[in-house]
Amino acid sequence: MKLSSLVGSTISGLLLVLVLALMAVEALPPSPASSESKSALSVSTPVAMASAAVSDTGLENESDNTPIRGANIGGVFLIEPFIKPSLFDQFLSRDKADIPVDEWTFSAALGKVEAKRQLEEHWDTFVTRDHLETMAESGVNWIRIPIGYWAFNLTDDEPYVDGQLPYIQRVLEWSRDIGLKVELDLHGAPGSQNGYDNSGRRGVPEWLHSRINVDRTLDALTKMTKIAVEWSDVVYGIQILNEPSRWKWEVKDIFAFYNEAYDLVRSIAPDVWFMIHDTFLSPNEWPTLVAPRWTQALMDTHIYQMFDNYMVTMNETTHIDMVAKMAEDVTKFDKSNIGVVVGEFSAATHDCTKYINGLGRGSRWEGTLEGVADHPLCPFATCSCTGDYGSNYTEYSEHYKSFLRSYIDAQLAIYDQELAGWFFWNFRTEGAPEWDYILGVEQGWIPSFPRTAMPKIEESSVVVFDDAQTTHATTSNAGESQYQFIKSTRGIAVNLGMAVAIAYSMLLPF
């Protein structure tokens, strides 16, 4: 046998072994994260896939498996007392019955001229380009902008004032420049869809009692969707209505509105993400809110642990454990139906925050919440809204700040890696530290993400946050070891293959 034939046979055998080795490596079972989760390691989120289809968003180095990482621009174009108490504290010298508690009564108390003057100053200053840039630097890639219907559809007999649209468009311009995607959220409907101050009008909701209210809601939604079309390179999602109350309305009637709104939005913007709220139903009931014919749809759920008499009495460990329990059915729905976005969550586990339950209503923590708690509800022998549970974050203990970080980490481990993404509530506040995203990042209990997508499996299996000594593991230890083995074996195989190929080519006749 000639030497070249012998070498050729040997190399052919080596190549066969190499191929078999690579096949064996590829056949290894996937790590737990890549087989079970919708993490950025292996599965593209619905929103991420849409992002990949549009190349002019301005976001740098984002791939098709970057989840929504967002913050709400709440309390700006629909004011809430707890976000900016100073707007409402100007009335505290009045009799209790005359103190405004929402935007409706705020505007009525001041009159349209003065209300517009104060609100224009608020719109102009409370959210700035610097705020958006700061959040983008920490890894935020989306913002959610809550808007009241009166920005689009206002009657003379309503005390609200309009004029928000130029300021909203300015935020869209900033977002375009910075590279942020935007969800426009109809946060308040005519008659109020839930009776909360976050709808613009606290009290008895009247929204679905009148077809006129529904038609006005759809009119506002039409105008909001047209903005999405005009700013199609910036606005990627439309939330048709925030938190309509299942306790007030029949679920079938809410679904009927959702279906009607879907047809309207799709007639104007065929490709924008159509986002609905879960109406406070449990996840196993969410399919009743979704039509199979819908495309590009996402479920918005809001997950909090302080608006419940039992949860505010839980200790810190239980709060962290509760995160996974509350999200278990949510992730199941996300995997079996439309994707899920946690549109609101925070670092708070108590209701001490000023006006968080509504202006003048007190707290469960100290037993002063009217009609709910006649004695303190907290995990301690005595309850006080001071120190760790007060409004001055400089008084927080190191232990409490460590807990806040662990609590946020527990939430993001699921919302960021198992679901389509998240929006923290809120981007900033006037004196509610656990609800303030920018402050939380600055103080270290909210992690910064890299500006790019989460690392893929061939790059890294953990994400290290710049502002912490800990890491978010995206696979188990076993998965990490397996990944490292696969990576090493692939490297050896590739290098061996190159060497064999070079040697073989040297023996070939030319």
Q: Is the pTM of this model over 0.85?
A: no
Whole-angstrom CA distances from 438 to 132, 309, 353, 429, 450 are 10, 29, 17, 9, 16
Give me the pLDDT at residue 450, please.
65
- Spell out the CATH class of 67-360+391-452: alpha beta
pLDDT recorded at residue 304? 97
By CB atoms closer than 10 A (0-12, 13-18, 19+), residue 125 is exposed
Residues 73, 171 contacting (CB under 8 angstroms)? yes
Contact status, residue 248 vs residue 200, Cβ threshold 8 Å: no
And the tokens for 28? 């290894």
Quote the CA–CA distance of 90 and 316 in Å, as a whole number.
36
Residue 480 and residue 489 in contact, taking contact as beta carbons nearer than 8 Å = no
Among the ranges given (1-5, 28-32, 198-202), the one the predictor scored with the smallest mean pLDDT: 28-32
**pLDDT value at position 53?**
32
Pairing assessment for the beta strands 462-464 and 471-473 based on DSSP bridges: antiparallel
Residues annotated as catalytic (active site), given as ranges: 243, 344
Gap between the Cα atoms of 424 and 398, Å rounded = 23
pLDDT at 67 exceeding the cut of 50: yes
At 58, the pLDDT band (50, 70, 90 cuts) reads: very low
Is the dihedral angle over the CA atoms 359, 360, 364, 370 positive or is it negative?
negative
> pLDDT grade, residue 64 (50/70/90)?
low
Are 8 and 20 in contact by the 8 Å Cβ rule? The answer is no
**Amino acid at the residue 479:** G
The answer on pLDDT for 494 being more than 60 is no
Confidence check: pLDDT of 47 > 90: no
For the chain, the average pLDDT equals 82
The confidence score (pLDDT) of residue 451 equals: 39
Angle 90-93-99 from CA coordinates, rounded to 5°? 70
Q: What is the pLDDT of residue 34?
A: 28
Task: Choose the weakest-confidence range: 270-274, 329-333, 486-490.
Answer: 486-490
Residue 495, pLDDT above cutoff 50? no
Average pLDDT over residues 188-210: 97
Share of the chain above pLDDT 70, in %: 75
Show the tokens assigned to 259. Answer: 């279906």
Tokens describing residue 403 = 């807990």
Q: Which two tokens stand for residue 48?
A: 């991420």
Tens digit of pLDDT for each residue in 351-408?
999 999 999 999 999 999 988 878 999 999 999 999 999 999 999 999 999 999 999 9
pLDDT at 65: 74
Question: CA–CA separation, 466 vs 450, rounded Å?
Answer: 8
The torsion angles phi and psi of 177, rounded to 5 degrees, stand at: -65, -40
Per-residue pLDDT tens digits for 276-323: 999 999 999 999 999 999 999 999 999 999 999 999 999 999 999 999
What per-residue confidence (pLDDT) applies to 280? 97
Alpha-carbon separation of residue 382 from 350, 386, 392 (angstroms): 14, 12, 20
Predicted pLDDT of residue 240: 98
Dist CA 73 CA 134 (whole Å):
13
CA distance 10 to 12: 5
Given its phi and psi angles, is residue 421 left (phi above 0), alpha (psi -120 to 50 degrees) or beta? left
